[in-house]
Amino acid sequence: MSSENLKLERDIRAILVCSSHWDREWYWHFQAYREKLVRLLDDITNRLSTEADLPFFQMDGQFVPIEDYLEIRPERRELVERLVRDGKLQVGPWYTLPDLFLISGESLVRNLHMGMLRSRHMGRTAQVGFVADMFGHNRQMPQIFSLFGLRPAFVWRGLNAGEQPANFAWESPDGSRVDTYRFGSSVGYAEYAITVRRAFEPATAFDFSRTVDDAIGLIQSTSRRTDAKTILLFDGGDHLEFFPETLALVKEINVRAGCELVRLGTLDDYAAAIENDPAARRHVLRGELRKTAKVGEETCLIHGVGSSRIPLKQTNHACETLLTLWAEPWAAMAQQCLGMAYPYRAFDLAWQYLLQNHPHDSICGCSVDKVHDGMLYRFAQTQELAEAHLNQIFHAFSQATLQPRISADEIGFTVFTAAGTEESNQPEVEFLLPTEWPKFTDEFFEYERKPSFRVFDMDGHEISYQLVSLIPKHVYPRIHRGKFPYSEARQKVRICLDCKLAPFSVTPFIVRRDDKPARHKGTNLRVDTTTLRNEWLEVQVEPNGTLRLRDLQTDQVYSGLLTLEDSADIGDGWYRGTALQDEIYFSTGCHCSVSVRNPGPLQARLQVDLTWELPASFDLNSMRRGADRAVMRVRHELVLRKDSRWVEIETTVENTIKDHRLRLLFPSGLQNVAEYTADAPFDAVARPIGLPEDNHLRKELAVEGTPQQNWIAVSDGNRGLAVIAPGQYESAVLDQASRPISITLLRAFRRAFMTEGNEGGQIQGTQRFRMALMPIGGIEPARLQRIAQTLSSKPRACQSEIRDFDTAYELRSPITNSLFEIRGNIVFSALLYDQEGRLLLRLYNPAASQEKVQLTTALPVCSWQVVDLDHRVLGPEQKLEEPFIEFSLGPWKIQTLRLRLRTTVASSPPIHLNEKVNTQRKNSYERHACSS
């Protein structure tokens, strides 16, 4: 193509963005990728220092590569900061590029907040929502981006070329819109690298003239995909080095065009260019972007990642729960009520470790074994940082609460509940009793001696309990301030308390020895050898190991629950590979035994043990499941509590089988329903039952399993079934007559993409899955989400005794039963102090109806105002004239409140009590005990 042949079909301008899509770890481990990153950024920073060589470089929408680089090149920090500050090196807004379905909505917010904060600290942050390679997009991303002030969004997967223009407006269910750009044709953000740089043709020699022609051809084809006046050329393929011929290429194109047709710029430059162009938003898309790829497209959603390396996903869910429902809200309360310093840096570091596990090739479980081995260390650091501070907070609250009430011969324990949960029925707690305390026996011949004790609340009322377990001798370390540790042996008891605990509450109890047998009357929840019953439910194990559940209020019966299905998997971390000659097995034909554990008036357990003989592996020679058999043992432990509307299930699988997928089935019996609902980040999404009619024509077939985070429910409006399974990210309602809910427990596969081996994906050994089963009427998304938070954050107990009171904090604010009571059909997401010491509360409404919210707190709140996710004020300050906060939360809205307190409690060290003060307090406690 010669210069006189360059004729544009319309008047356009193009911005060429130089970048490199940087997967932090994938088919190499992190350090191997970092070695290449260092070489890339050495070259880029050298070129950016000489403006004639390269004016701008875009660091792929994230910040963490800069941190990774400066750990190896600390001497370049000043240079990097200058380049970022001058806008030459674009970083952020993400900290890492996460998957958008496999982590919580709160984690997405923290990821963007950390990325933007650290980018600004470096000099400035990019202001665009880059999600080009994520495996589909949840429908709340436009609202999240809008609340951070980010636009436009850049997407690729989940849409097919030609079905919409390159530029469109993407709308969340709450009505939030963000200008969006869909990367080009079939190969998306790598289109420039493939068509101009010939990145898939390693043997092709560089030819400048042909490269210019290819670039001009790409400009022409890109201009046909949009009516916008400015088009985007994005040179940002996976891990690609800078193309040194870029400047000469741009100069030659502009010579042929006779104008500045192409200029080098950034994604922010492109955002500014289309900001006032109505053609960039004429077309509107709503909802999730989860379309599978057509023939000829590369926009695959890569469905199988929701069930790859499930233990990693379970641990991630546990870390998110620990930080958002436990550590941060309780640390905020400790700051106000006790004057304890809020551990900003420790929590920031805990989030940093966690977010480094959230890149899509990490949390998706589709990388080589070394990548996922490294994730275990980062998860452990998150947990240990949070737990260390949480334990200190619990001990401080427990001692401050019990100090005035407990005597030297009593044991105190304080029960804490997490923020955002439902009321906790019949909580279980553990504590340690002196071995010398009295014991009694239920049998005449004293075959088993049990400790005799009674439990009282702070008003002196006795609380009945059910003894669940006893370890006669438990050795544990004792540590006193300024002394060496030593070991001590005690009795370890676990009891179930006959009470209900409010969410986000601190409830102290006192344990007193009793010389008489400590027994409590009540109706046993066990009906017969295989049946349990409480006020709401009847649970029965059938002879084939399945469960029969009866709703006692409606008399609706659900049968065949807990059926296990096992089929072959010849795929990898990306996809479950289906086998033509598969053999699908069901647990209803295997050996089953049933036992009853801990039957009593407060809780009872049924234990179902299955011995299942299955093909040991898949034979890739015959392409059938192998002839060798192995035994897989499965145990279901069913727990029914007094007054509970759901049955808890813990399934333990001894996974000795390879190359298979294991699912749990819960037939709903709702033959006429056409859709089901599952939760997603800040959302609940209705999805159709069954596969698309044109599925057979697609390159990437749609599959039954779709993303969830905590729960799935199906209902006809009058009756239905919900399975609450936090940390299990793949579920469905199958298009079968009984409309069974399906939860994928695990996939075991033998390889990672582009490798042979990496058999960590087989996840052999013991795997545990916790869930709850509940009959429902209609689907109530907020309530189901709160039940999921309850299930994943059981109450915790902290023991305190007089001898522990060498260090204590004093209460500075009154303690009520619930420290933060939230009324309304909404969901708690976060309560924390930000870096400026401001208290933030985040809630969301996952349903289509507007909800009235009322907040009552023990904190001395004097005013509040709405802020966005970047903590910028959105509305006027509201003075608190009533003892509660009231407002309405619109459908599917995410809302953050900044709370102003009447007094700011300065952090202070604990009071270290000397021996004299200890003795005085001990005597005072003993006098109090005698008088009471």
Q: Is pLDDT of 912 > 70?
A: no
Say whether pTM exceeds 0.75: yes
Task: Please state, for a pLDDT cut of 70, what percent of the chain lies above it.
Answer: 95
Is pLDDT larger for residue 904 or for residue 424? 424
**pLDDT, averaged across the chain:** 93
Name the amino acid, one letter, at 199.
A
Confidence class for position 756, pLDDT limits 50, 70, 90: confident
pLDDT tens string 807-823 = 667 887 667 678 889 99
Mean pLDDT of all residues in 153-182: 96
Q: Is pLDDT of 862 > 80?
A: yes
Is pLDDT larger for residue 803 or for residue 117? 117
Q: How far apart are CA 410 and CA 13, in angstroms?
A: 80
Confidence class for position 911, pLDDT limits 50, 70, 90: very low
pLDDT tens string 9-55 = 889 999 999 999 999 999 999 999 999 999 999 999 999 998 677 99
pLDDT tens string 91-132 = 999 999 999 999 999 999 999 999 999 999 999 999 999 999
CA atoms within 13 A on the CB side of 801: 13
Confidence class for position 832, pLDDT limits 50, 70, 90: very high
What's the token pair of residue 167?
């530029």
Q: Is pLDDT of 356 > 90?
A: yes
Is pLDDT larger for residue 3 or for residue 928? 3
Task: Please state, for a pLDDT cut of 90, what percent of the chain lies above it.
Answer: 84
At residue 126, what are phi and psi to the nearest 5 degrees? -65, 150
Q: Is pLDDT of 924 > 60?
A: no
Select from 55, 113, 61 the least CA-distant residue to 83: 55
Q: Is pLDDT of 921 > 50?
A: no
pLDDT at site 740: 98
Q: Is pLDDT of 210 > 60?
A: yes
Q: How far apart are CA 196 and CA 154, in angstroms?
A: 21
- List C-alpha distances in Å: 7 to 11, 53, 374, 925: 10, 28, 53, 93
CA atoms within 13 A on the CB side of 585: 17
SS3 484: coil
Mean pLDDT of all residues in 488-517: 94
Angle subtended by helix axes 369-402 and 310-321, to nearest 10: 30
Range in 130-134, 443-447, 776-780 with the lowest mean pLDDT: 443-447
Q: What is the DSSP string of 581-594?
A: B---EEGGGSEEEE
Output the CA angle 371-377-378, nearest 5 degrees.
85
Residues β-bridged to residue 508: 414
pLDDT at site 483: 85
Pairing of strands 740-748, 711-715: unpaired
pLDDT at site 930: 32
pLDDT tens string 392-411 = 999 999 999 998 889 999 99
Q: How far apart are CA 223 and CA 227, in angstroms?
A: 7
Name the amino acid, one letter, at 857.
T
At residue 401, what are phi and psi to the nearest 5 degrees? -80, -40
Mean pLDDT of all residues in 458-482: 92
The contacts of residue 108 (CB under 8 Å, 6+ apart) are 98, 100, 144, 681
Mean pLDDT of all residues in 835-859: 93
Confidence class for position 920, pLDDT limits 50, 70, 90: very low
Q: Is the peptide bond before 152 cis (omega within 30 degrees of 0)?
A: yes
Pairing of strands 177-182, 153-155: parallel
What's the token pair of residue 916?
């004299």
Mean pLDDT of all residues in 605-616: 98
